[in-house]
Structure 1
Amino acid sequence: MITPTMASDGASPATPATTSRAARTRLVLAAAVGNALEFYDFIVYAFFALTIGKLFFPVHDPVGQLLLAVASFGVGFFTRPVGGLLIGMYADRVGRKKAMLLTLGLMALGTAMIAVAPTYAQAGIAAPIILVIARLIQGFSAGGEVGASTTLLLEQAPANRRGLYASWQFSSQGLSALAGALTGVALTASLSTAQLESWGWRVPFFIGTAIVPVGWWLRHTMEEAPPQNVATAPKAPKIPLFAVLREHRRAVLNGLGLTIGGTSAHFIIVFYLSIYGVKTLGLPSWTAMLSGCVSGAILFVVAPIGGYLSDRIGRNKLAQTTRILLMLAIWPAFALLNQSPTAGTLLSVVTVLSIVHSLNVGPTGAMLGELFPRSVRATGAAIVYSIGVAIFGGFAQFFVTSLIVITKSVMAPAWYVIGCGVFSVVAVACMRERSKETLD
């Protein structure tokens, strides 16, 4: 049981006062680079799904090719919880830094495999098998990445800046989404269809692989300060999962509730709205990428503001207020889109919803980490985040499309966000405010 203690304005127990600003900057960059690579790959894979489907799946029906390409991408979500569990326990047992080096190496392997994978015409059935294996490796890595890196940011941050430091994990997702969208647009605009299918689609994955050495250097050379009282610091149990499920069930439920609301809104606002505008409202295809660029840029800029504000006014107050505002705004936003289906309306809706959503996710990283003690923090945070994202994010488009078919209502995406948001409202109401307490 952690005794609540008011935090001072100095360094946290895990952060010596002598830690330099340069070392902390490197820490943030090192923690963010792996998550950024994951979401960069997410965007470029989705952007070239049609091309990948044509090259890797021998189905004569174009729709069938697209479905198989999307399915090969989606399999990565199945290995997220497994990666979150195993890499989270590894981080608790041997350290956050070693776990982050492992996840970056696995991400590099998966991305490089896609970059050099032979097509079906070159290797037959081996081609889609290689593609699926690469996605499974990436999903496994991504599952453990967030728990290890967010935990490191939280533990190494100054006591009065934990929210700000942890928010860079989500901010990096916005920057990588923007970079991925711009890369896709640039290649599509500059290359012919034949060039894209021959070699152009591989370029973004080579770019992602080329970033890895920089990330590896940052992570290998960063400083991971130990707890202030090393002798009395609790050791990780042999199997951290058992300790999490046995001693921290309430924290797991609260963390899942928090993640469900955030990830459902994220996938609808950042990804699905652009598809909705093109497929359902009949808007031109360029609006999809522009919408993705807008939402990515806003997440990059505004999420740290949310983290900063959570350090000042409290995480629970900010998370609860912005969640309720988002739930109140999402239905009128979809209603406006259907009444006035223009590119201007879509971009306006994406802008407003992205600002509120980004403020909401700003404190989320710190809140998830603060739910668990240091000895099982990476395991607990990885489990709740990877499971929540795998189910309510990875299957968000499936759930929403099914709801539209069942209800015959184009407002189903709004109801999905509202329904998932209820879980977050309840979870935050059950969580203790920790922004002014010492972490451990």
Structure 2
Amino acid sequence: MSNDSTRKPHDEKSLALYRRRAIVATVIGNGFEWFDWTVYSFFAVTIAKQFFPTGNELTSLLLSVATFGVGFVMRPVGGIVLGVLSDRVGRKFALSLTIVLMAVGTGLVGITPSYEKIGLAAPLIVVLARLLQGFSAGGEMGGATAFLTEYAPKESRTYYSSWIQASIGLAVLVGTGIGTLVTSTLDSAALNAWGWRVPFLLGVLIGPVGYFIRSRIDETPVYSAMRESEKTDSPLKEIIRTYPRQTFASFSMVILWTVSSYVFLYYMPTYSVRSLHLPQSAGLISGMLGGTVLLVASPIIGKLADKYGQRPFLTAAAIAMLIFAYPMFAWVVNAPSLGALLVFQAFFGFLIAMYSSPILTAMADLFPARVLSTGLSVAYNFAVMLFGGFGPFFITWLIARTGSNMAPAFYVMCACLVSLAGTWCLADKRNRLAIAN
């Protein structure tokens, strides 16, 4: 099916313009979705003091990171509901809705009074906000992937979908940048009183911009053509009955993606304060570097994967993380410093880009357009919920129980082994076709 045949106007110049708009709409919207998750994870220690003052520092932190994980409980629900909407009603409608829901959730976190002022209502409102954000984020990845891969030229689908991962890098960079500015310019009292709210309130401003851009972009040509000929009555039922193996293969590959992202990019600032006893600014600065590497490397690797295939990059990155997770963690544990964190984040930021840039197109190849958003959303969000969202909680708990700061390394290594098995489903085109049948 040609993208050009269903697009008006048909000339290449106009089509290229629509494709650039599709990338911009996805980067801004998806980046906003991840911006809030970034700033929440980076201010987890401060949020613990504001909303979970148990009198025990570890218990407060566990409650804070558990609340971070609670949002992931809603992700499969949001993935199913918004994924079905994307396949039934349209990519544009679903993606516009997700950004509105995320803006509301982000605003709630930013304006909720502390536990000291309103008591138990404070953590309850924060949990509600996290659930709303989780529901929204659950529909983002599947919808955004379908949107970009369906707009992309056939020979550049991995490059286009890699911009989704680049937008996550942008979110990490901007989130940590604002976090660094706030923590470096405010004293401890001001930071705890109101400074930590600034990134959340600034994030709300991105919502209307993202909605405006997404609401003005046209529906994808592939979806427009498919809607007239082969739209399914129940995308979720078709996924369960017809594509269970494709869903499981995607699920297994996502495990390393989500574990590596949340351990290396989102948990490290908390880890650097709690376990390495470095200042919060060190974790934020190293996070900025990791986000920058992810932002720059993702499209480059996407281009290369279009030429050489997705599986070589997926497999090489998984093996590299399996080999280097333990020695790199041992290095920063034994010689903690800002310099060590910068090398650590740059190294793993590149490996995350190497693994995640090709993964969405590889997964998209396993599903037809009529159930693409639903299939990706189900596989992605269940893996994220089980292995990514509660990863910081389990790691924090394991470190406290075992007394070993090496717990994150073992968590990543286990994810590498599981996801390596999933990448074998992408051995070659014939294998992918065999899975699909």
TM-score by length of 2: 0.90
Q: What is the deviation of 1:153? A: 0.4
Q: What is the deviation of 1:222? A: 0.9
1:188 to 2:183 alignment: yes
1:393 to 2:396 alignment: no
- 2:91 maps to what in 1? 96
Between the aligned partners of 1:395 and 1:60, the Cα distance in structure 2 is: 23
1:144 to 2:139 alignment: yes
1:420 to 2:415 alignment: yes
- 2:295 maps to what in 1? 300
1:68 to 2:43 alignment: no
Between the aligned partners of 1:274 and 1:191, the Cα distance in structure 2 is: 18
- 1:3 maps to what in 2? none
- 1:47 maps to what in 2? 42
1:329 to 2:321 alignment: no
Q: For the structure 1 residues 286 and 227, does the alpha-carbon distance in structure 2 shift closer, same or farther, using more than 3 Å as the test?
A: closer
2:359 counterpart (347, 350, 364): 364
Question: Contact 1:227 / 1:233 at 8 angstroms: preserved in 2?
Answer: no
Q: For the structure 1 residues 242 and 228, does the alpha-carbon distance in structure 2 shift closer, same or farther, using more than 3 Å as the test?
A: closer
Between the aligned partners of 1:337 and 1:194, the Cα distance in structure 2 is: 30
SS at match of 2:300: helix
1:227 counterpart (196, 214, 222): 222
- 1:263 maps to what in 2? 258
Q: What is the deviation of 1:343? A: 2.9
Q: For the structure 1 residues 208 and 273, does the alpha-carbon distance in structure 2 shift closer, same or farther, using more than 3 Å as the test?
A: closer
2:119 counterpart (119, 124, 134): 124
1:224-249 deviation line (CA, Å, top 9, x unaligned): 23339937965332321111011001
Question: Contact 1:14 / 1:156 at 8 angstroms: preserved in 2?
Answer: no
Between the aligned partners of 1:338 and 1:116, the Cα distance in structure 2 is: 37
Between the aligned partners of 1:195 and 1:46, the Cα distance in structure 2 is: 19
SS at match of 1:425: helix
Question: Contact 1:267 / 1:393 at 8 angstroms: preserved in 2?
Answer: yes
1:241 to 2:236 alignment: yes
1:306-364 deviation line (CA, Å, top 9, x unaligned): 11111011111221122212222222222333443333223222222221221221111
1:37 counterpart (20, 32, 39): 32
Which structure shows the bigger proportion of residues in helix conformation? 2
- What stretches of structure 2 of length at least 5 have no aligned partner? none
**Partner letter of residue 334 of structure 1?**
F
1:241-263 deviation line (CA, Å, top 9, x unaligned): 11101100110111011101221
**Partner letter of residue 78 of structure 1?**
V
Between the aligned partners of 2:246 and 2:188, the Cα distance in structure 1 is: 51
Between the aligned partners of 2:44 and 2:401, the Cα distance in structure 1 is: 27
1:254 counterpart (242, 249, 253): 249
Between the aligned partners of 1:151 and 1:392, the Cα distance in structure 2 is: 23
1:162 counterpart (157, 160, 180): 157
Q: What is the deviation of 1:37? A: 1.3
Between the aligned partners of 1:282 and 1:113, the Cα distance in structure 2 is: 31
Most deviating of 392-401 and 232-241: 232-241
Count of aligned residue pairs for this structure pair: 430
**Partner letter of residue 319 of structure 2?**
I
SS at match of 1:430: helix
Q: For the structure 1 residues 359 and 231, does the alpha-carbon distance in structure 2 shift closer, same or farther, using more than 3 Å as the test?
A: closer
1:312 to 2:307 alignment: yes
TM-score by length of 1: 0.89
Q: What is the deviation of 1:92? A: 0.5
- 2:20 maps to what in 1? 25
Between the aligned partners of 1:159 and 1:36, the Cα distance in structure 2 is: 25
**Partner letter of residue 106 of structure 1?**
L
**Partner letter of residue 94 of structure 1?**
V
Between the aligned partners of 1:53 and 1:375, the Cα distance in structure 2 is: 43
Q: For the structure 1 residues 332 and 63, does the alpha-carbon distance in structure 2 shift closer, same or farther, using more than 3 Å as the test?
A: closer
Between the aligned partners of 1:253 and 1:74, the Cα distance in structure 2 is: 22
Question: Contact 1:115 / 1:206 at 8 angstroms: preserved in 2?
Answer: yes
Q: For the structure 1 residues 122 and 275, does the alpha-carbon distance in structure 2 shift closer, same or farther, using more than 3 Å as the test?
A: closer
**Partner letter of residue 354 of structure 1?**
G
Question: Contact 1:32 / 1:168 at 8 angstroms: preserved in 2?
Answer: yes
2:105 counterpart (99, 106, 110): 110
**Partner letter of residue 165 of structure 1?**
Y
Q: What is the deviation of 1:391? A: 1.1
- 2:212 maps to what in 1? 217
Please give the residue correspondences for 1:196-207 in structure 2 after superposition, counting only pairs within 5 Å. 196-207=191-202
- What stretches of structure 1 of length at least 5 have no aligned partner? 1-6
Between the aligned partners of 1:290 and 1:380, the Cα distance in structure 2 is: 36
- 1:4 maps to what in 2? none
Between the aligned partners of 1:231 and 1:339, the Cα distance in structure 2 is: 56
Between the aligned partners of 2:5 and 2:245, the Cα distance in structure 1 is: 25
Identity over aligned residues, as a percent?
A: 38
Between the aligned partners of 1:374 and 1:81, the Cα distance in structure 2 is: 20
Most deviating of 410-419 and 99-108: 410-419
**Partner letter of residue 105 of structure 2?**
G
Most deviating of 64-73 and 83-92: 64-73
Question: Contact 1:32 / 1:149 at 8 angstroms: preserved in 2?
Answer: no
